[in-house]
Amino acid sequence: MTSGNGKPAYWKPEEETLARTALEALQLDRLKKTVGRVFDAVPFYRKKFEDAKVKPDDVRGLADLARLPFTTGADLRSIYPTGMLAVPLDEAMRLHTSSGTTGKPKALFFSRRDVDNAAELCARSMVATGVTRQDIFQNMMTYGLFTGAFVMHYGAEKIGALVIPAGPGNTERQLMLMQDFRTTTIHITPSFALYFADFLEKKGLDPRKELNLKRAFVGAEPYTEATRRKIEEGLGLRVFNSYGLSEMNGPGVAFECQEQAGMHLWEDHYVMEIINPETGQALPDGESGELVLTTLLREAMPIIRYRTRDITSIVAAPCACGRTHRRIQRITGRADDMLIVRGVNIYPQQIERVLMSVPKVGRNYLITLDGLDEMTVKVELSEFGFDGQLEHVVELQNQIAAQLRAEILIKPKIDLVPPGTLPISEGKAKRVIDNRKL
C-alpha cells in the first residue's frame, strides 16, 4: 500500500511500525507511570488498589495488569462529576460525556495533551485509510457533548484536509455540501449511512457518477459485514470500520487500514485484554470475549482496566499494511445487549446479519419483545425488486423466519413494512424495544 508519491501511507511510521518487543516495552513503561499516577492522585483508585491488596510496585510486567481491579461504567457514574480527575481541574481543557440514555452521564475530562493525543490517533487512523491533505472531509456525526465528531474533526485538521463540520441530519443540505465541495470522505453512523443511501436511491442519484465520495468512516454502533456492503454499494465508496468509546477519547481507539480486515488497536496508547465477561478471566488471542482497555497516556483522567462491555477478539497475525499494532475483529455486540429469549442467548447483530443478507429486505429493522418472550421483527422492504403481491409477502416472511430460526434457534414473527416507515435515528439507532414484563 502506497500513497500517491509512492511512499507507504503512514502518519508517523516510527510509531505505527514499532517492533513488537519495543512496543511492549513502551507499554510497560507507560503502564507503570499511569498506575503510579492514579495511585497517588486519585483516591478512588488508591482505595480500589488497597481493597484488591495491590500496590503500583506489583506491576513488573504487562501480565501483572491482571492483578489490578477493573473499572466499570458504574464506577464512572459513581464518581460523577469530578471524582476520577488525576490533575487539578484547571488543567482540564475539555469535558465530554458518554451517550448514556438514563441517569447521570459519565463525565470525561481531557487535558491539553489529551486533546492533542486524541487528534493524533484520529490523524493516524485516517491516514491509514488513505486520507491526505487533498481530501474533503464531511463530518456527519453529532457535535456536542458526544466525543464522536470532535476528535475526528481535529484529527482531519492535523492532516490538513478540508473539514466540513456538517453534523448529522438534514439530508438535502448534506447532499448539497457533497456536490458543491466535492466531498471525498465522510464520518457517519451505520444507520444514518443506510438512510442516506436510501435517500440517494429515491432521488435517482447515482453517487458513482454524481458524487466524489471515496470512503466513509463508520462506527459508534455495531453493524455487520453485510451492512458494510450495503453502505458501500449504496454510497459508492469504501467503508472503514471505526471503533472508539468516550471513556477512551472517542473514535481513534481502533481503526481499519486499507486491508479492511480488522481494526488496529493503537497499543502505544492503550493496553487491551479480552476477558470472559462472566468470570473476568483472560481469554487467548482469537477467542471472543469482552474488550478491557487501560489508558497509557491520558493525563486528566487515566482509566485502568475499563470494562467496555463490547464483544470482540484479538487478531494476532501481522497485517499486510506493515503496522505492528494488533487488530480486533468487528464488534459483534455488547455484553449488555444480549437478549435472553425463551432461554436462548441472542445478540441483535445475529438478527441483523440474517436480515441484511436477504436481497429483498431494505435497510431498517426493529426488534420488539412483548409479553412472555414474543419476538417480532419488523423489517422494511427494499424500495426495488418487490412487487407487493400477498403470496410473495407471505413467502418472504416465511423465508426470513426460517433463516432466523437457523441462526438464533427461535422463530420470531416477521412483519414486513413499506420502505421508509420505521423510525430512523441520526445518532445511535435503537434496534430493540423490550416490553416484556418478566
Partner that binds at residue 364, options ligand AMP, Zn ion, none, CB closer than 5 to 8 Å by kind: none
Alpha helices in 292-389 (DSSP H): 348-356
Pick the closest to residue 16 from 306, 325, 414, 269 (CA basis): 325
Strand partners, 282: 275
**Which set of grid coordinates corresponds to residue 196?**
442516506
**Which set of grid coordinates corresponds to residue 304?**
485502568
**Which set of grid coordinates corresponds to residue 12?**
508517523
**Which set of grid coordinates corresponds to residue 422?**
420505521
147 binds ligand AMP (CB under 6 A): yes
Which residues 319-378 are close enough to bind ligand AMP by CB under 6 A?
331, 334
363: left (phi over 0), alpha (psi -120 to 50) or beta: alpha
Q: Considering the complex, what minimum distance in angstroms separates the CB of residue 256 from Zn ion?
A: 8
Closer CB to ligand AMP, 267 or 310, in the complex: 310
**Which set of grid coordinates corresponds to residue 324?**
505492528
Q: Is the peptide bond before 277 cis (omega within 30 degrees of 0)?
A: no
Stretches 10-18, 213-221, 227-235, 269-277: which one binds ligand AMP (CB under 6 A)? 213-221
Pick the closest to residue 174 from 221, 149, 133, 139 (CA basis): 139
Pick the closest to residue 384 from 188, 233, 185 (CA basis): 233
Closer CB to Zn ion, 272 or 355, in the complex: 272
Stretches 46-54, 161-169, 243-251, 386-394: which one binds ligand AMP (CB under 6 A)? 243-251
- Position among 24, 157, 210, 221 found at the interface with ligand AMP (CB under 6 A): 221
328 binds Zn ion (CB under 5 A): no
CA 303 to chain centre: 18
User: At a CB cut-off of 8 Å and minimum separation 6, what does 294 contact?
Assistant: 31, 34, 65, 270, 271, 273, 303, 304, 305, 306
> Are 144 and 174 within 8 A, CB to CB?
no
98 binds ligand AMP (CB under 6 A): yes
Closer CB to ligand AMP, 219 or 236, in the complex: 219
Closer CB to Zn ion, 256 or 380, in the complex: 256
Which residues 251-270 are close enough to bind Zn ion by CB under 5 A?
257, 259
Closer CB to ligand AMP, 314 or 416, in the complex: 314
Site string for ligand AMP, 163-202 (x = CB under 6 A): ----------------------------------------
312 binds ligand AMP (CB under 6 A): no
56 binds ligand AMP (CB under 6 A): no
Q: List residues binding Zn ion (CB under 5 A).
A: 257, 259, 319, 321, 323
Q: List residues binding ligand AMP (CB under 6 A).
A: 98-99, 146-147, 219-222, 241-246, 250, 308, 310, 331, 334
